[in-house]
Amino acid sequence: MTAKEVFDLVRDDLALVERELASESTAAFEPVSEICSYLLGGGGKRLRPALLLLSARYAGYRGESAVRLAAVVELIHSATLIHDDVIDSADKRRGRPSANSRWGNHRSVLAGDWLYMLAFQIALEQRNFRTLDVLIELTKKMVEGELIQLAKLGKLDVTEDDALQLATCKTACLFSGCARLGGILGGISDTEEKALAEYGRCAGLAFQLVDDLLDFTASAEQLGKPVLSDLKEGKVTLPLIYAIQNGHREARELVQRVLAEKEFQSVRPEAIVALVRDSGALERVRLLALDYADRAKTSIDGRVDSEFARALLTLPDFILEREN
C-alpha cells in the first residue's frame, strides 16, 4: 500500500475530524480562537488522528467516538506544540511564525492550556473511563518528558538511554495511546490491546528518530524551521550522542561550544553536520529507526487479516520514508 492508499482508508473520517477541529476553533473564547485556528490550520499530516482511526477500524469499530477521540488527540498534540515553542523560544513552526512569536508567551501558554481542557471536555462527553485513563496517562508522560528535557537542556552528558526515554515520553506515548484508544473502542482483548499499544510505541520511536535525522539531513525549507535548531535550543539528540560516543573529540568540543554560546557564532552548522555524518552516527540512527519500525510491524503482524491491518503494517514504512 502507498501512503495515499493508507490515508484514503480513513479519508472521510479525517474530513470529519477537520470539521470538528474547525468548529471547536471557531467557537473558542475569542482571545484563544485566533491562535487555535492559526495552529490547527497550519498543515500537518494528521498522523496521530489517522493512527487512531485506523486502529479503531482494525479493531472492528466504526463510529462517532473514533472521530471525536481523533480530534482529542490532535488537540492534545497541538497544545504540546504551543507549549514546546514557548519553552524553546522557537520562532518557526511548520514554516510559519510560531504562536509565541506572533502573540507572545503569555497568551500562547493560556491557549495551550485551553486546548488541553477542551480536549478533555470532549473526551469526558464520551463517558468512557478507559479512554480517559489512557488520555490522562499519556498527557502526564508528555509533561514528564518536558521536565526531563529541561533537566538535560544545555548538557553534554546525555546518554542513549536518556534520549530514548525522552522520545518515549514526548512522542511515542501519544502514538501508543492513539493505537490503544482504537483498540478500546473496538472492544478487543487485553492482549490485542497491548499489542496495538506496543505497535504505537515502536512506531512513535521510529518517528522521533527520523525527526532527529531530519535535523541533520533536511533543508530549512523542508523542516519548516532552521537546521540544527535542536542543538541551538540546547538539545543533544541521538545523532550527536552517537558521534561523540564514536570518539570524535572535535565533535564534543564543537557541540560544547554551541551549547555554551546558545547560537552558531564560532561554529558553523555545516561543520557539525559534516562531523556527525562522517562519524557514522546518522546511519546508526537510521538502523535503530528501522529496527523500531520492524518491531511495530511484528507486534500486530498476522493477528488480523484486513485492509486496515495492511494499512497499519504500511504506516511504519511511511514514517521511515519521511527522511526522503
> Which residue is associated with the grid cell 502514538?
175
Number of domains composing the chain: 1
- Helix 173-186 and helix 64-88, axial crossing angle in degrees, nearest 10: 170
Model pLDDT, residue 250: 79
Residue 140 CB-half CA count within 13 A = 6
Q: What is the CATH number of the domain that holds 70?
A: 1.10.600.10
Whether the Cβ atoms of residue 239 and residue 212 lie closer than 8 Å to each other: yes
Model pLDDT, residue 120: 93
What are 285-298's pLDDT values in tens digits? 999 999 999 999 99
Model pLDDT, residue 224: 62
Q: Which distant-in-sequence residues (6+ apart) come within 8 Å of 265 by Cβ?
A: none
Pick out the chain residues at pLDDT < 70.
42-44, 220-226, 247-248, 323-324
Residue 107 exposed, middle or buried by CB count within 10 Å (0-12, 13-18, 19+): middle
Q: Is the dihedral of CA 279, 292, 205, 3 positive or negative?
A: positive
Query: What is the pTM (predicted TM-score) of this model?
Result: 0.92
Model pLDDT, residue 194: 96
Model pLDDT, residue 223: 63
Range of the domain at 82: 3-321
Give the residues across from 96 on adjacent strands.
93
Model pLDDT, residue 56: 97
Grid coordinates representing 234 are 540546547
Alpha-carbon 150 to chain mean position? 18
